[in-house]
Structure 1
Amino acid sequence: MKKVSLLGLLFLSLAACKNTTNEPEKTEEVTTEVTAESAHEAKEVTLDNGKLWVANPETTEGIKNMQKIISERKQEATGAVLKEALENEFQMIFEKCTMTGEAHNQLHNYLLPLKMKLNQLDGTNDEAVISEIDAHLKEYSNYFQ
């Protein structure tokens, strides 16, 4: 049941990301359906014809903040405390997202696995998952500038 709730939260987070295209506004039901479909099909992040995608500054700042949270964490900090701090930054990325088009799609391809890793922090496997999160955050600069 917990996984279902977390998956629902992911759907809402992805749907909340501001996509500022000039397309007519779609109903929330369609947006949620497309988001649910994409959550089941995590796609690999690709480059823009061999070049880095241009990310909005707030996204890059949020990723850097998450890296800082991990690098400055105290060893005695619980997974729950770390998870809350990382998820707050993650949510800010979505709230401040202004990316559009394929760059926006590629950002979602990058963020979906990150969210899944955040969901795995449960107090029993924290060090292994934190290491995976840290490695994933370091990959951001391989795809975005």
Structure 2
Amino acid sequence: MKKTILSFAMLAFILSSCNNKKEEAATEQTIQEPVEVVSHENHDTHHASSALNNDWMNEIQMDNGSQWEANIETTDGVNDMLKLISESKTETVEDYLGLANKLNERKNTLVKECTMTGPSHDNLHVFLHPLIEKIDVLLETKTTEEGATALKSIEDNLNAYTTYFK
């Protein structure tokens, strides 16, 4: 009986050792396999440039050839943002970031106060979505050149509002 128990114990020990060796071999094999490294160093630049284009103008529609009726809060919000831009000093990165924060706050208020519905609301989203992305890019500005590019795109976006909405 002692021999049987001892034999089972040794067999269990040997089998567990084999399993550990298999796991170690599998781990070593996994570690030794080549890993593909994908570079993302240009990801931010690509995102910023795609966010700053005005492709949204190809998507927005007119109201049977006329401007969409917008609520006063939306129009006031757009005008307030244009005023912020015209009155702001933009000489340093900090200036651009400060303006970005003010634009972001005003944009958030505009979105909260929106009461538009239907097709005019749907087209407002075509206008607003890229504006939001552009403000996000400005919030991440690291150089005055980036800030100037983002701000110009924001201003173009805001100035186009009156083409599509009244």
TM-score normalized by the length of structure 1: 0.68
Secondary structure of the structure 2 residue equivalent to 1:78 = helix
Question: Which one of 102, 105, 117 corresponds to residue 85 of structure 1?
Answer: 102
Question: Which one of 87, 93, 117 corresponds to residue 134 of structure 2?
Answer: 117
**What letter is aligned with 1:89?**
R
* CA displacement, residues 12-48 of structure 1 (integer Å, 9 cap, x when unaligned): xxxxxxxxxxxxxxxxxxxxxxxxxxxxxx6721101
Does 2:85 align with 1:66? no
Q: Quote the offset at 1:57 in angstroms.
A: 0.0
Moved over 2 A (4+): none
Q: Which runs of 5+ in 1 are unaligned?
A: 4-41
Higher-RCO chain (CA-CA 8 Å, sequence separation at least 6):
1
**Greater per-residue helix proportion:** 2
* CA displacement, residues 93-113 of structure 1 (integer Å, 9 cap, x when unaligned): 111000000100000000001
Q: Check the 8 A contact 2:90/2:96 in 1, yes or no.
A: no
Q: Quote the offset at 1:75 in angstroms.
A: 2.7
CA distance in 1, matches of 2:64, 2:142: 41
Aligned residues: 105
Q: Which runs of 5+ in 2 are unaligned?
A: 1-43, 45-55
Q: Quote the offset at 1:80 in angstroms.
A: 1.4
Q: Over alpha carbons, which structure has the higher Rg?
A: 2
TM-score normalized by the length of structure 2: 0.60
CA distance in 1, matches of 2:90, 2:135: 18
Q: Check the 8 A contact 2:131/2:154 in 1, yes or no.
A: yes
Secondary structure of the structure 1 residue equivalent to 2:88 = coil
The residue aligned with 1:100 is: 117
CA distance in 2, matches of 1:123, 1:81: 13
The CA RMSD measured in Å over matched residues stands at: 1.5
Secondary structure of the structure 1 residue equivalent to 2:61 = coil
Q: Quote the offset at 1:67 in angstroms.
A: 0.3
